[in-house]
Amino acid sequence: MGQAETIDARVPPVAVWQVLAKLRGQDLIDWRLAEPAQRPSPDERDLPSEFPFGWYPILLSNELEAGVVKPLRYFAQELAIWRGMDGAVRMVDAYCKHLGAHMGHGGQVDGNELRCPFHAWRYDGEAGVVTDVPYAKRIPPQVKRKCIRTWHVVEANRWIWMWYHPHDLPPQWEVLEHPECADPDWTEFEIHEWNVWGSLQNMAENGVDFAHFKYIHGTATFPEAELEFHELGRKAVIRAKMGTPMGEVDGQIAFDTRGPGQSWTRFTGISETLLVACLVPVERDHVHARFCFTQPKAQAEGPMGGLARAMIRDICKQFDQDKVVWDRQKFEANPIICDGDGPIPRFRQNYAKFYASEAPA
Ligand code: FES
Ligand SMILES: [Fe+2]
């Protein structure tokens, strides 16, 4: 089966290949999601004790219809998210202030508000107040004023985004819209999903870790990268020779970020692809990851479609290769760096501003 095998067969086989080689089809999908039977605690691995603040894509827009409420768990918190009959999305902390029912399970959307499943108290998801207690003569004053945490949510790039800040500060920037996501000439997302048993920061550092591309991913040469740090993260243009059935091709990978929760990559060379990388922390040692790919329809459905699909498979394979490391990696606060490494200390300095405890007041 020629093509995919050939395009994957880089030289020499990468070290993690022995872990991945036998995983095929459903076994590979199961491996991507499964929780390891045993793993050291986040403390033992020195994983960050707080989550970096920013906008994070938590649910696809088409996963939430009007009138539907869903439970979510991100940032080690239980959440209830719903779409009102007006089409707008709201999200609050999941636990009801009355007797602690989880409103994401069995709650009911009433107009634009949410009714708790237990005793039908009704919450306004914007003001964070109770607007109705159907069996009481009066609403307790403590819940007539703001009593529950409400979360900022917006929709962009076919996703619902939440603003996470541990101290509930308001959004400090906006989600960047990608024109491809609104362009009917680009395909629906092709989505691949992983649970990574590690920290978001270790995953983010991967992009500036130039040396790993050869050893973990088997790129034919060390990629040539132009990396730039900016106010909201980092961007890079990486040029690398990519092995293909037609020989080596000059590929280009351009990635950029807006805070720790929005990152995207445009691939050109083998085929034109936008990857919207949706990574959201669930726990200190658990990140829920979805890679969403879109390509020009003309390309995906045309004679080069096979090559485009092979490229997506290859990008996912790179994620699999990194995952072998991420799932067990500790955070090495004082790494020993050599001259061939990418700008890892610079990355960490830039990333630290998204931790509320380190950010300037
Ligand atoms: S616990 Fe929610 S209304 Fe009683
Ligand atoms: Fe990588």
Nearest CA to ligand 1 atom 1: 99
Q: pLDDT exceeding 70 applies to what percent of the chain?
A: 91
d(CA 304, CA 17): 28
pLDDT for 269? 79
Q: What is the pLDDT of residue 149?
A: 98
Least confident interval from 92-96, 295-299, 330-334: 295-299
How confident is the model over 56-96, as pLDDT tens digits?
999 999 999 999 999 999 999 999 999 999 999 999 999 99
Q: How confident is residue 302, by pLDDT bands cut at 50, 70 and 90?
A: confident
Question: Nearest bound ligand to CA 118?
Answer: 1
For residue 270, pLDDT over 80 is answered with: no
Residue nearest to atom 3 of ligand 1 (CA): 119
10 or 73: which carries more pLDDT confidence? Answer: 73
70 vs 302, higher pLDDT: 70
Cβ neighbours of residue 242 under 8 Å, at least 6 residues apart?
Answer: 219, 220, 248, 249, 250, 251, 269, 270
Looking at residue 10, what is its pLDDT?
40
Pick the atom of ligand 1 nearest to 133's CA. 3
Query: How far does the centroid of ligand 1 lie from the alpha carbon of residue 85, in Å?
Result: 22
Q: Determine how many CB atoms are found less than 10 A away from the CB of residue 138.
A: 7
Structure confidence at residue 1 (pLDDT): 32
**Maximum Cα–Cα distance across the chain:** 77
Closest ligand 1 atom, residue 101 Cα: 1
The pLDDT tens digits for 217-239 are 887 666 567 889 999 999 988 77
Instruction: List, in order, residues 6 or more apart from 37 with CB less than 8 Å away.
Output: none
Which atom of ligand 1 is nearest to 96's Cα? 2
pLDDT at 236: 87
Residue 223's pLDDT is 59
Per-residue pLDDT at 22: 79
Name all residues whose Cβ lies below 6 A of ligand 1. 96, 98-101, 116, 118-119, 121
Query: For a substitution probing ligand 1, which of 121, 123, 147 has the most ligand atoms within 8 Å of its CB?
Result: 121
Rounded distance between C-alpha atoms, residue 54 and residue 60, angstroms: 18
Q: Which ligand is closest in space to the CA of residue 255?
A: 2
Is the entire prediction scored with pTM above 0.85? yes
User: Chain-wide mean pLDDT for the chain?
Assistant: 90
CA 294 to chain centroid: 16
Pairing between β-strand 224-230 and β-strand 77-83 as defined by DSSP bridges: unpaired
